[in-house]
Amino acid sequence: MAGLGLAAHHFLWDGRRPGQVPPRVPTTRSPASTVESPQDPCHQLYRMICQQSGTTRDPSGTVRTDRDGEQAALDAYRGILEEHPGLEPEQAEEQLVDAIYTPRRTQRVRSAFDWAKDQLEKFIDRQPEPVFSAREKRLLKGQLHHVELQLPPPASNYEDEPDLFTKNGAYYERVDEGRMRIRIGGAYLLSTDSWFNLVFTLAHELAHSIDPCELRALHLSLPAYDRLGACLMQQRVVELGRERHECADNDQLSEAFADWMAVQVVAKGLKHFSTEFDRTQLRHAVRNSVRDLCDQDESLEELDLTQHPSPEVRIEAIFGSHPVIREILGCPKLIPLPGPLLGLDRACDFSKGMNP
């Protein structure tokens, strides 16, 4: 697919190979860039990202609340039924799909999916030999390569889960004969068109195809994963409760791993555009990357803390500890963050704990 370019505040795909450096394009100040968060991102990143209610905008697009997206999808469905009361359910779903999964929206998602997959593969390739052997790199990249992005239309693509048309989020799953796929809820398309959020979300779901539990199901174990997992648990990113059983319903490691991998990808995009955006625009892009991780009291779905770390941990300890994110926000390097949640001496990585 393509590299990304910025024009008229929208990221466009211009025929370059995946991962190729985007062209340098002049930008103008976005409407939201006049509002600056008073919170200190180095010590209150969760508040900086989550304190603003409603819609948040960066130069690539917006992120609305989960509830806004769900409500918009439900309203669209009700409108179709009111306008065409005699429609069969399958016909109503087809019309809903046409209204939500438009060519523009689906192409935007596919482009972000291709870019995120390419960046994950490049991240794996960049790891030195002591971290991953050549065989391990081929295995991980092979897993990523076989993940399919499954989108409507037609509506029958989701005939086994029609409720996805009005749900938020993206969903990775392994299905029959080892096939792997990602599906996108219709409400998510209505609530989010920020390129940074799309990239983080899709990279997170792609990372589940190579997360510790997926590899365990394939009877594989990688020492680099053990080191990363040990660091995440040592830093209290992953809760170690009495009832925790590895890869069971109450284990947070796979979700923390997927977040960690997604940060590697979105940080790459943020780093590039740090030369294109002004300081305020860049902070809005940082905010929108993980804006939907915030604890949204008004969401129609309950917060899941059995498999996911808390929103504060995900945003501050995983996203906020990445060196590039800290650099972009003007935070000092390698300084422990205060508070009971964190105490990071440096970000976790695949090599932490290796013998020199």
Residues 308-326: what's their mean pLDDT?
91
pTM of the model: 0.85
In percent, how much of the chain has pLDDT > 70? 78
pLDDT for residue 303: 53
pLDDT, position 187: 97
Q: Using one digit for the tens of pLDDT, what is the confidence trace for 172-208?
A: 999 887 799 999 999 999 999 999 999 999 999 999 9
- Span of 7-11, 80-84, 270-274 with lowest mean pLDDT: 7-11
Q: Is the distance from CB of 328 to CB of 282 less than 8 angstroms?
A: yes
**Cβ neighbours for 239, distance < 8 A, ≥ 6 positions apart:** 252, 309
Helices of type H across 52-166? 66-83, 89-100, 103-126, 134-145
What pLDDT, on the 0 to 100 scale, is given for residue 176? Answer: 80
Run of H or E residues at 172: strand 170-174
pLDDT at 338: 44
Question: Which DSSP string do the residues of 179-245 spell out, in sequence order?
Answer: -EEEEE-HHHHHHB--HHHHHHHHHHHHHGGGSHHHHHHTT---HHHHHHHHHHHHTTSS---TT--
What pLDDT is attached to residue 76? Answer: 97
pLDDT of residue 40: 81
Cα 156 from Cα 168, distance rounded (Å) = 19
SS3 330: coil
CA distances from 275 to 77, 278, 279, 338, 350 (A): 42, 8, 10, 30, 28
The reported pLDDT for the residue numbered 90 is 93
pLDDT at 342: 43
Q: Does the pLDDT of residue 144 top 80, yes or no?
A: yes
What's the confidence (pLDDT) of residue 245? Answer: 65
For the chain, what's the residue count? 356
Backbone angles phi, psi at 299, to 5 degrees: -65, 150
> By the 8 A CB rule, do 339 and 313 touch?
no
- Looking at the DSSP bridge assignments, the partners of residue 61 are 58
Average pLDDT in the chain: 83
The tens digit of pLDDT for each residue in 74-104 reads 999 999 999 999 999 999 999 999 999 999 9
Mean pLDDT, to the nearest integer, of 49-66?
91
Write down the pLDDT at residue 241. Answer: 61
Cα–Cα distance, 70 to 68 (Å, whole number): 6
Helix, strand or coil for residue 10?
strand
